[in-house]
Amino acid sequence: MEQLCVLRYDQQSMKRANTFDVIPQSDEDEELLRRLLDASAALWNEINYERREHYADPNRDVWDISEYRGRYGGTLGASTVQQIERKNREAWRSFFSLKKKDEANGMPGYWGNSEDGRELRTYIRNTSYSVKWGEYSRLEILVGKDLKDEYGLGHRERLRLEVRGDPNWKEYDKQGRLELFYDEQTQRFRAFQPVTISEDHFRLAQPLASEEAALDIGANNLVACTTTTGKQYLYEGRDLFERFRETTREIARLQSLLEEGRYSSHRIRRLYDRRTKRRDHAQDALSRDLIERLYDEGVSTVYVGALTDVLDTHWSVETNAKTHNFWAFRAFVNRLACTAEEYGMSVEVRSEAWTSQECPNCGSTEDTTRHRDTLTCPCGFEGHADLTASVTFLRRQTTVTRSMARPVCLKWDDHDWSESPYSVPNEEHTNPQVASVGR
């Protein structure tokens, strides 16, 4: 079977990441932090400019750049100067490898500019920061000597920041390079901390029973899920998808305004970035919410239908492409598999063609009609189309004998997936019968 969780890199350990808010404890601390992130962006831009110049000049070497520690070390500290340079080198390496495959999307970009403002962001070496987890969690980061002097920090002192949020991984064996940035959308400082956890440290959970579940993945309903215990979950994605489309339209509009020969701009990249972050956040939260619910149900195997097959059957090419784009199907399955792994559950992708238009009552696929979210059949069946599809899919994998409980409907509010009353999918029908499974 294909290894779905690619984060796992060997038998004994797993790679995971914490994300959390970081809060300066005074105006002075906030100013210091902003200067640190701004100087990091200035450094990135200088390095990147130099590399672009070298790239354009056949007599020069992209990898051979000036020494920046002298000018930036006092503000950032030597190790952070080195991390920014390394991060930029990685960006150029990936540019070259994409270029080889003819997939490059332009040279590495700048982190804003001094006129419109730089993107506040930095990378801190694993030995140059520490996090203390507890009731009042704290992050301490290295700053350069000049900033310490200016803000009255002791020579061995680090900038201390409050950590807010409840990261999943507080016990780990190794921490990686910390990414620290200002999130303009939420107007907060955020940290991204990769960690390595060994299995000695983290015992994987075992499934409670050997129940199964099947998922239908789409754009309007992100996930429709049915379990062999008779539970159904519907994750509503309409608002999220609508915002994705809005951002996509805005990107297209800005692209049409670009001067000839230019392919992107700072604003466009920022929109792309925001769009991706929003999707990733919702997907991460969905994976965890769903897997925890399935674990409690005793599920040990989760079947996911390959999206292409689903879409070929009844979706338009346009919707198909949009969903793929929006949902980043492979990345989502990977996320799901990694989360499932923590609970000892497995995720299996089934590429067999399965129609979303099959009637669960009489098995007809020709006579059914789908209108918005409702599937109807001349035999009298009427039910939620995506939930019905997940039932049909589940039946193809296993025997389902239990009847279905009322579906749990979940909505995204930018932070959490929370339960909302199950609403009638189509107002023209006043009494929809939810797909029942017992034959």
Residue 393 Cβ, how far from Zn ion at the closest point, in Å? Answer: 17
| 3-state helix, strand and coil shares in percent for the chain, rounded to the nearest 5 | 35, 25, 40
Please, which residue, 327 or 381, has the CB nearer to Zn ion?
Answer: 381
Please list every residue from 255 through 294 that binds Zn ion, using CB under 5 A: none
If you ran DSSP here, which 8-state letter would residue 118 be given?
Answer: E
- Say whether 190 sits in a helix, a strand or coil: strand
Please, which residue, 237 or 383, has the CB nearer to Zn ion?
Answer: 383
Residue 330 Cβ, how far from Zn ion at the closest point, in Å? Answer: 34
Does 435 help bind Zn ion (rule: CB under 5 A)?
no
Please list every residue from 379 through 408 that binds Zn ion, using CB under 5 A: 379, 381
Q: How many alpha carbons lie under 13 Å from residue 349 in its C-beta half-sphere?
A: 20
Please list every residue from 221 through 250 that binds Zn ion, using CB under 5 A: none
The residue to which tokens 């930036």 are assigned: 72
CA distance 56 to 49: 11
Please, which residue, 323 or 376, has the CB nearer to Zn ion?
Answer: 376
If you ran DSSP here, which 8-state letter would residue 1 be given?
Answer: -
Q: Cα torsion at 334, 335, 336, 337 (round to 10°)? A: 50
Distance of CA 388 to the CA centre of its chain: 27
Please, which residue, 128 or 376, has the CB nearer to Zn ion?
Answer: 376
Count the site residues for Zn ion by CB under 5 A: 7
The residue to which tokens 């969905």 are assigned: 286
Please, which residue, 208 or 362, has the CB nearer to Zn ion?
Answer: 362
Residue 361 Cβ, how far from Zn ion at the closest point, in Å? Answer: 4
Q: Are 304 and 291 in contact (CB under 8 A)?
A: no
Q: How many alpha carbons lie under 13 Å from residue 194 in its C-beta half-sphere?
A: 12
CA distance 26 to 60: 46
Q: What is the DSSP string of 249-286?
A: HHHHHHHHTSPTT----HHHHHHHHHHHHHHHHHHHHH
Residue 376 Cβ, how far from Zn ion at the closest point, in Å? Answer: 9
- Say whether 143 sits in a helix, a strand or coil: coil
CA distance 20 to 106: 31
Please, which residue, 308 or 369, has the CB nearer to Zn ion?
Answer: 369
Residue 226 Cβ, how far from Zn ion at the closest point, in Å? Answer: 18
Residue 13 Cβ, how far from Zn ion at the closest point, in Å? Answer: 51
Please, which residue, 294 or 435, has the CB nearer to Zn ion?
Answer: 435
Please, which residue, 362 or 408, has the CB nearer to Zn ion?
Answer: 362
- 305 phi and psi, to 5 degrees? -80, 140
Please, which residue, 224 or 375, has the CB nearer to Zn ion?
Answer: 375
Residue 221 Cβ, how far from Zn ion at the closest point, in Å? Answer: 21
Q: How far is CA 200 from CA 13, 134, 172, 204, in A?
A: 9, 22, 10, 10
CA distance 283 to 305: 17
Please, which residue, 106 or 380, has the CB nearer to Zn ion?
Answer: 380
Residue 274 CB burial class (10 angstroms; 0-12, 13-18, ≥19) = middle
> Which two three-digit tokens encode residue 347?
């995720």
Residue 362 Cβ, how far from Zn ion at the closest point, in Å? Answer: 3
> Which two three-digit tokens encode residue 223?
């996930």
Residue 363 Cβ, how far from Zn ion at the closest point, in Å? Answer: 7
Residue 377 Cβ, how far from Zn ion at the closest point, in Å? Answer: 3
Please list every residue from 325 through 384 that binds Zn ion, using CB under 5 A: 359, 361-362, 364, 377, 379, 381
Positions in the binding site for Zn ion (CB under 5 A): 359, 361-362, 364, 377, 379, 381
